[in-house]
């Protein structure tokens, strides 16, 4: 059962039962207080788009597979955002990107998120159920759970979560959203520092989500370095590195660099909603997953055809392929 409440930031959320531990520790990096140059990327403009759908459907499946074992685990989100997004916000209204992602799966007549394949819908259900949990049935789509909210809703009382967000305003919103969630620790520092500081986790089981904005020219190099360094500290962990596909060749460089990195058990999952062109914007996205929990790699080919059919904006394609084996 979910508890619905408004927190101090007036954000609706549906959380699992509270545990009896100490309040979450909220860390503030002292150098950020005097940061003068504003950061440009705000995920609120993009929440619920086709890239979010792919990333979060796969994340929900991965968390579910880890939860099959009784032993607790930890979710570490290096680029957490604000956790829960209003689809009626000014930012969402400016881009309306969610309509070509989440919106393409929504059946207004039935008031549900659907795919045109029963087996694929079963694979979709962990993510779909959480999206529906934060929205009032029969009232349409008003909220979208980002990776932190999905992780909170899908994990158990003994599991732990660390959410890191560098943007000052988004950090404050994120911290406020989870100020009463005993299992969550919210931090504000560079993603590289956050990953290093939290690995290996005490549970020795977990998922590390690396989801950079890819605003800077060297973000692909930095992201892959974060993945490699994290793996050295936590070789049994599941790492998920998200990447965008545009016409600039970044995704090809990143995937090839990952292939040559020497990392083992590395899976590529990619969804193209249309062909990529130089000035055509976000045409697709993908995930590089190290140590995907069984049977994620085996089940995704049963999901991707139906998902790509719903999300396509032109000629669509998908990939589920091993970049490296054992």
CA distances to 140, 219, 258, 294 from 253, rounded to whole Å, are 40, 12, 9, 27
Mean pLDDT of the chain: 88
CA distances to 165, 225, 228, 262 from 232, rounded to whole Å, are 23, 11, 6, 12
Q: How confident is the model at residue 253 (pLDDT cuts 50, 70, 90)?
A: very high
**Closest listed residue to residue 154, CA positions, set 129, 179, 186, 122:** 129
Q: How confident is the model at residue 217 (pLDDT cuts 50, 70, 90)?
A: confident
**pLDDT at res. 10:** 34
Q: pLDDT of 160-198, one tens digit each?
A: 999 999 999 999 999 999 999 999 999 999 999 999 999
Structural domains in the chain, CATH included, are: 42-324 (3.40.50.150)
Query: Residue range 302-326: average pLDDT?
Result: 96
Q: pLDDT of 68-85, one tens digit each?
A: 999 999 999 999 999 999
**pLDDT at res. 215:** 84
- Whether residue 157 contacts residue 19, with contact meaning beta carbons closer than 8 Å, is answered with yes
Total Cβ atoms within 10 A of residue 239: 26
**pLDDT greater than 80 at residue 308:** yes
- Give the span between the Cα atoms of 28 and 239, in whole angstroms: 25
Determine the angle formed by the axes of helices 118-133 and 147-154, rounding to 10 degrees.
Answer: 100
**% of the chain beyond a pLDDT of 90:** 80
Catalytic residues: 211
Position with higher pLDDT, 239 vs 137: 239
Half-sphere exposure of residue 2: CA atoms within 13 angstroms, side-chain side: 20
- Whether residue 147 contacts residue 163, with contact meaning beta carbons closer than 8 Å, is answered with no
């Amino acid at each position: 059962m979910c508890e619905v409440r408004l927190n101090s930031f007036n954000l609706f959320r549906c959380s699992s039962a509270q545990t009896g531990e100490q309040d979450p520790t909220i860390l503030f990096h002292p150098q950020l207080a005097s940061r003068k140059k504003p950061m440009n990327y705000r995920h609120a403009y993009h929440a619920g788009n086709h890239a979010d759908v792919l990333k979060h459907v796969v994340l929900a499946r991965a968390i579910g597979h880890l939860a099959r074992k009784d032993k607790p685990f930890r979710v570490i989100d290096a680029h957490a955002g604000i956790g829960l997004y209003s689809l009626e916000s000014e930012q969402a209204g400016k881009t309306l990107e969610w309509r070509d992602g989440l919106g393409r799966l929504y059946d207004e007549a039935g008031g549900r998120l659907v795919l045109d394949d029963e087996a694929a819908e079963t694979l979709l259900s962990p993510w779909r159920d959480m999206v529906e949990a934060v929205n009032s049935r029969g009232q349409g789509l008003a909220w979208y759970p980002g990776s932190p909210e999905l992780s909170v809703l899908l994990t158990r009382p003994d599991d732990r979560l660390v959410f890191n967000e560098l943007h000052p305003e988004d950090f404050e919103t994120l911290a406020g959203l989870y100020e009463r969630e005993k299992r969550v620790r919210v931090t504000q520092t560079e993603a590289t520092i956050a990953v290093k500081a939290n690995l290996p986790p005490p549970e020795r089981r977990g998922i590390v989500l690396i989801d950079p904005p890819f605003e800077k020219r060297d973000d692909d190099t930095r992201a892959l370095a974060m993945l490699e360094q994290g793996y050295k500290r936590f070789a049994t962990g599941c790492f998920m590195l998200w990447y965008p596909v545009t016409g600039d060749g970044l995704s090809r460089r990143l995937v090839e660099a990952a292939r040559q990195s020497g990392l083992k058990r590395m899976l590529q999952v990619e969804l193209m909603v249309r062909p990529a062109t130089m000035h055509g914007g976000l045409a697709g996205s993908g995930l590089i997953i190290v140590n995907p929990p069984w049977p994620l790699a085996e089940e995704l080919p049963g999901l991707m055809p139906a998902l790509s059919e719903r999300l396509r904006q032109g000629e669509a394609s998908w990939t589920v392929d091993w970049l490296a084996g054992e």
